[in-house]
């Protein structure tokens, strides 16, 4: 029997990518809502409760509303919005979070999974293992910066960047969230168990997809010890995260893993100045790829 899947928000960037990944699979039946009924709550309720799995690719308020419409206890939900990422009743959809497969098992058995934010995925991949190993303290004041392609900003931004009449400013890297109130910061802090909200400086640039998230450390850390932690933490057979070693890197391009579901971890420098970097696709391991990875575990 085929697994019934409903993608609520199929027309958005993440929803479309999930649909593309699932439509060719012969083990899945994709339930669809007619375009003119997308805002019809009664029609949506039917589909939400008829599915074995529901992907939510919606604004936060709409995601919460859709969950409230589900009364079938057997429906399993994978939410790609920000709405439930810090909710203790939801399992965090980063399978590699803990070493030795603990998070894989939680996701495998879960009925409610919240997929990480794109920037948060890189930050947590870099910071969480080092906190667990005692290399970084939960009380440390951490700074993070990241650069992403414009696809991460959704359909309106994609249209703006790809318009022939676009502003000349779109041809350069642009900082945003300057007020230090980015929606991923609560997630970064809570999942890593930090006592202080990390400072975060995101940048959007003039290319479609791919991203790098970096965390600098200046407290006399040994890069060899950090690499040992990552090597051990991400050694699982099913891990999509890997430590890159022995590579002479002069430039690190943010779009090199576009269309991939993998994440690469880099450790640069040593001693007083160490730079941790995670490279991946904001639409892959940072969004739809992560959602499908969780689905494959749960199915």
Hey, which residues are catalytic here? 118
Distance between CA atoms of residues 261 and 284, nearest Å: 5
Nearest to 271, CA basis, from 200, 235, 234, 222: 222
Distance between CA atoms of residues 228 and 34, nearest Å: 52
Residue in this structure with the two tokens 């450790």, named with its chain if needed: 267
How does DSSP classify residue 199?
Answer: E
Distance between CA atoms of residues 26 and 202, nearest Å: 39
| H/E run at residue 175 | strand 174-175
**Cα–Cα–Cα angle for 69, 74, 75, rounded to 5 degrees:** 50
Distance between CA atoms of residues 161 and 93, nearest Å: 30
Count of CB atoms within 10 A of residue 171's CB? 11
Report how far apart, in Å, the C-alpha atoms of 284 and of each of 13, 210, 257 are. Answer: 11, 8, 9
Cβ-proximal residues to 240 (8 Å cutoff; 6+ apart), any chain: 95, 96, 261, 262, 263, 285, 289, 293
């Amino acid at each position: 029997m085929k697994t019934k899947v409903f993608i609520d928000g199929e027309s958005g960037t993440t929803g479309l990518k999930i649909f593309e990944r699932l439509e060719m699979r012969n083990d899945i039946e994709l339930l669809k809502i007619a375009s003119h009924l997308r805002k019809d709550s009664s029609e949506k309720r039917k589909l939400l409760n008829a599915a074995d799995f529901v992907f939510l690719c919606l604004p936060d308020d709409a995601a919460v509303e859709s969950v409230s419409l589900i009364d079938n206890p057997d429906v399993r939900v994978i939410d790609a919005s920000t709405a439930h990422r810090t909710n203790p009743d939801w399992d965090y959809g980063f399978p590699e979070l803990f070493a030795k497969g603990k998070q894989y098992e939680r996701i495998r058995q879960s009925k409610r999974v919240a997929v990480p934010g794109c920037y948060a995925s890189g930050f947590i991949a870099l910071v969480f293992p080092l906190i667990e190993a005692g290399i970084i303290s939960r009380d440390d004041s951490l700074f993070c910066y990241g650069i992403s392609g414009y696809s991460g900003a959704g359909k309106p931004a994609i249209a703006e960047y790809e318009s022939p009449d676009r502003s000349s400013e779109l041809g350069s890297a642009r900082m945003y969230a300057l007020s230090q109130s980015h929606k991923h910061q609560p997630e970064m802090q809570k999942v890593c168990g930090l006592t202080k909200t990390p400072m975060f400086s995101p940048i959007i640039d003039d290319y479609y997809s791919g991203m790098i998230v970096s965390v600098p450390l200046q407290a006399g850390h040994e890069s060899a010890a950090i690499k040992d932690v990552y090597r051990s933490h991400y050694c699982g057979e099913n891990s999509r995260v890997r430590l890159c070693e022995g590579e002479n890197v002069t430039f690190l391009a943010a779009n090199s893993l576009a269309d991939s579901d993998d994440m690469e971890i880099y450790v640069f420098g040593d001693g007083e100045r160490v730079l941790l970097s995670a490279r991946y696709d904001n639409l892959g391991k940072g969004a739809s790829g992560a959602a499908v990875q969780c689905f494959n575990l749960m199915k």
